Structure 1
Amino acid sequence: MNANHVIETDVAIIGAGTAGMSAYRAALEHTPRVLVIERGVYGTTCARVGCMPSKLLIAAAEAAHAVAGAARFGVVAGPVAIDGRAVMARVRSERDRFVGFVVDAVQRWPAEHRLMGRARFVDDHTLLVGATQVRAQRIVIATGSRPDVPETWRAALGDRLIVNDDVFEWTDLPRSVAVVGAGVIGLELAQALHRLGVRVRLYGRTDRVGPLTDPALQALTRQVFAAELPLSTGLAQIEPRRDGDSVVVRATGHDGSVHEERFDWLLAATGRRPNIDQLGLEHTTLPLDADGIPLHDRRSAQVADHPVFIAGDVNEDRPLLHEAADEGRIAGDNAGRFPDVRMRPRRAPLAVVFSEPQIALAGASHAELSASGIAFETGRVSFEDQGRSRVMGRNQGALHVYGEVGTGRFLGAEMLGPAAEHIGHLLAWSVQRGDTVQQMLDSPFYHPVVEEGLRTALRQLQRALHMGPVPVERCLDCGPGT
């Protein structure tokens, strides 16, 4: 080890993203000797290339879609004209504003708390960052994740292959994009670009579109998005090749059918991989799982009994900003107070997809409940004839709610429909409080609102659980069209 400079610190945090920043603030409550090591630029994944710029693009798409659909309300708005340069100028400007807030916050930290460079473990307590050796009593790994793209595609397509990071550097909208990967990122971006006038096709190896696990809701999701977007899923092979300045995608179905289409770009939304492979963990005694991720307790973020903690997307647990922030606080607090490690309760799961209709999962998913062995029942509602949803012209999708047999405890929900981002929060809060289905039904429901559809599903669930008073099928307080 050739180190020209040595830094001694109590807590070293590798990564200055959402989890790393939260860990820094928490560790400072216990010691002023904290060092944050960042290999790239400051600014979180969310602010630079994730949740914020993608929602800016989606907001523009929603505006265009609203104008295009105004005629059904008797409002004639004229043909939609989309200025791609103006759309992307706003996306980049507002993105830079959000990133600026993050960068300013980090740059206000004392200079001795910041170190730029790639960190590699030398042993359990020592990191090498360029020519600097960092000796830390405790270490937090918060290195995040990156897009996972087949290397053969990179070699074949060159600069015609992009990831979501690249989209937000565009100065204009392209004419056509193949989006490969029908998960959250692929679905959001494909629909937004489609609504902004870009020719898009969304490809997926499996039949799944989005993250819902309830088989009935997953089938409905495919049906709803296939009605709007060119969609090719359940494919045996996806073979892109470059042809001049274009990409040709050859998609082969399991029945042997072949579809070829030419695009300007291929956007690979094929998942993300943790930034763990270049940390030199082989030089430590940390226990690793089959994927090379340090084995840890998610309630404490601690790796076995070592003075090492892990937080954020790098742990492949729940790659969401609020989860990364929570994990960072837990890891930083325990790193700061070590060896007095505390177990921290985690919040109820909540995930939202900002497609249209929106998607939300709150509490336990259908797949998790089915695997757990817990006896549960399901309540259902469709939004096709739900009053407020029809009024708004957003009457697509359905909501399934799950309750525990015997206790009536509300366990979770999956939803495709209007206002899912808001209803998902209400349901996650109920899960975290431990509400019963009856307690939820005892809460007020205004009329006319989309939440009346939730009440319908809860009433059906209560009947299926055989608990509490029998709800009236068409009650006086429901109002018309609920």
Structure 2
Amino acid sequence: MGDFDVVVIGGGTGNKVALAAAERGLDVALIERGPIGGTCVNRGCNPSKTLIHRADIAETIARADEFGIEGDVGEIDFEGIVHEVTETVDGKSERMEQTDRDHDNITLYREEARFVDERTLEVGSGERVSGGKVVVAAGAQPVVPPVDGLDAVDYLTSADALRLDSQPERMVIIGGGYIAAELGYFYEALGTSVAIVGRSDLLLSNEDREVAATFTEIARRRHRVYTGHEATTVSRNGEEITVTAEDKDGREISVTGDALLVAAGRRPNTDSLDPEAAGIDVDDRGFVKTNEYLETSAENVWAQGDIAGNYQFKHAADREAKYIETNALDGEREAVDYSSMGHAVFTSPQVAGTGRTEAELRGDGRKYVVGRCAYADTVMGKALKEQDGFVKVLAAPDEGTILGCHIIGPDASTLIHEVLLSLASGSGTISDVTDTIHIHPTLSKVVLKAFEDVNRTDSVENP
């Protein structure tokens, strides 16, 4: 049996913890069945956002005539684009793995692992590995819903869709969340006809409803969108795949394409890990339960990232890795602070948000005021000819505390950060933004004007 000071399961953000432990002189086992770097480097953020940047360029060219400039998207080297991105992320993963292998204090196991006892795992063909401390960072994987006939066709998951050798002419996407939105945009912008079948009544249904409704309307201009439909059967006839779906009243639709992407969410990788054998509690969805210190129910076992399910974002996992270093490696007990947690969806337009949505505030029975500003009401918004985008602020009526901020429009992923900075400062007030001098006429003025609008709002929303 291999006995280590620290065992880290998962080479995504868990790799940061493994390296931090090794640099502290601890003897570390790092267990990762797939490429080092995990989902983000290999099958998620890095390749998807790099590919989506190509879509942004194609869209900019396609819109050039709106600005009096002749432009035309000619031939697209789809295979070359995907090959370049794949080569880049694979190279990064290989360099990360070599760093681990070269470190005197890290033993790398490129194997499947499962718990067999407290802080003890069986790795690969039967070797047992144990640690004085264990960090569970084994990530998540795509959900494949139980749709009749799905297992009989060659469907894609997000991992496959980022590495296709050839571009499909028509793609059907099952799912209406951020993966469906981002990859649907990428493929459509590069010339694929895309149909999206989502069971919620809006795309991006976890966003503030006003944002989701606006995004869904924009998506309908780009794709064939069927919201409120549950996929029931999938079949193949030659090269053509047909998805049949029903709405709540039982009315059917059939959508065809030559490629099918299943983007129905993600589930934790606890199914093969057998955490119960180590006394690690999971919730009814399979996520590892953690407390505010990222401790699990098992002594000297911590969990972080997607498998813990607190926030399924890479930046959340990165933040949690720092707390794992403090709590697990340095023996402290510092509670995780998620107060400045935000997120973004890299589509066109971009979507970003932080804090509560209006529906959540109503559900909590909390009073709030709303401030808004449309992109079109700013100089740069007009320059961009942006007609749909807006910033929406939700605030406590008396203290002026920021309860939530939601943005849809160009550069939303960047604009949200001044709100996150306010929240991170511990203040989190409307005046943090309104008292800041904003350079004129930057796009950030749309955020300023939305926050100023809160101060002009007399009406209080009563749930």
Q: Is TM > 0.5 for Structure 1 vs Structure 2?
A: yes
Change (3 A) 1:39 1:332: farther
In the TM superposition, 1:212-361 aligns within 5 A as 212-297=206-291, 299-304=292-297, 306-338=299-331, 340-346=332-338, 348-361=340-353
Once the 2 structures are TM-superposed, how far is the Cα of residue 30 of structure 1 from its aligned partner? 5.0
**Bigger radius of gyration among the two:** 1
Tell me which amino acid in the other structure corresponds to 1:360: A
Tell me which amino acid in the other structure corresponds to 1:74: G
Once the 2 structures are TM-superposed, how far is the Cα of residue 305 of structure 1 from its aligned partner? 6.2
1:398 aligned to 379, 390, 398, which one?
Answer: 390
In 1: Cα distance, 2:452 partner to 2:141 partner: 43
The answer as to whether partners of 1:64 and 1:82 remain within 8 angstroms in 2 is no
Percent of residue pairs bearing the same amino acid type: 27
Change (3 A) 1:124 1:65: same
Please state whether the residue corresponding to 1:162 is helix, strand or coil: coil
Match of 2:9 in 1: 14
In the TM superposition, 1:12-51 aligns within 5 A as 12-18=7-13, 20-28=14-22, 31-51=25-45
Match of 1:122 in 2: 116
Unpaired segments of 5 or more residues in structure 1? Answer: 1-5, 468-482
Give CA-to-partner distance per residue, 1:313-355, whole Å, 9 cap, x none. Answer: 11112111111112223224322244x5433434511101111
The answer as to whether partners of 2:147 and 2:231 remain within 8 angstroms in 1 is no
Q: How many residues align?
A: 458
In 1: Cα distance, 2:171 partner to 2:178 partner: 17
1:95 matches 2:86: no
The answer as to whether partners of 2:202 and 2:227 remain within 8 angstroms in 1 is yes
Match of 2:79 in 1: 85
Match of 1:414 in 2: 406
In 2: Cα distance, 1:56 partner to 1:402 partner: 32
Please state whether the residue corresponding to 1:210 is helix, strand or coil: coil
Change (3 A) 1:48 1:285: closer
Tell me which amino acid in the other structure corresponds to 1:244: G
In 2: Cα distance, 1:294 partner to 1:212 partner: 22
Change (3 A) 1:465 1:408: farther
1:438 matches 2:431: yes
Give CA-to-partner distance per residue, 1:105-136, whole Å, 9 cap, x none. Answer: 33333375322322221211322113322222
Once the 2 structures are TM-superposed, how far is the Cα of residue 79 of structure 1 from its aligned partner? 5.4
Please say which of residues 139-148 and 81-90 is displaced more in the overlay: 81-90
Once the 2 structures are TM-superposed, how far is the Cα of residue 154 of structure 1 from its aligned partner? 6.9
Unpaired segments of 5 or more residues in structure 2? Answer: none
In 2: Cα distance, 1:209 partner to 1:189 partner: 13
Please state whether the residue corresponding to 1:138 is helix, strand or coil: strand
Tell me which amino acid in the other structure corresponds to 1:442: D
Tell me which amino acid in the other structure corresponds to 1:205: R
Tell me which amino acid in the other structure corresponds to 2:413: E
1:138 matches 2:130: no
In 1: Cα distance, 2:7 partner to 2:371 partner: 48
Match of 1:449 in 2: 442
Could you say which structure has the greater relative contact order, defined with CA pairs below 8 angstroms and 6 or more residues apart?
Answer: 1
The answer as to whether partners of 1:386 and 1:395 remain within 8 angstroms in 2 is no
In 2: Cα distance, 1:101 partner to 1:378 partner: 48
Please state whether the residue corresponding to 1:352 is helix, strand or coil: strand
Please state whether the residue corresponding to 1:23 is helix, strand or coil: helix
Once the 2 structures are TM-superposed, how far is the Cα of residue 220 of structure 1 from its aligned partner? 1.7
The answer as to whether partners of 2:36 and 2:94 remain within 8 angstroms in 1 is no
In 2: Cα distance, 1:84 partner to 1:428 partner: 36
Once the 2 structures are TM-superposed, how far is the Cα of residue 385 of structure 1 from its aligned partner? 4.2
Match of 1:382 in 2: 374
The answer as to whether partners of 2:389 and 2:408 remain within 8 angstroms in 1 is yes
Please state whether the residue corresponding to 1:381 is helix, strand or coil: strand
Match of 1:60 in 2: 54
The answer as to whether partners of 2:214 and 2:388 remain within 8 angstroms in 1 is no
Tell me which amino acid in the other structure corresponds to 2:279: T
Please state whether the residue corresponding to 1:207 is helix, strand or coil: coil
Match of 2:173 in 1: 179
Once the 2 structures are TM-superposed, how far is the Cα of residue 414 of structure 1 from its aligned partner? 0.9
Please state whether the residue corresponding to 2:153 is helix, strand or coil: helix
Change (3 A) 1:389 1:331: same
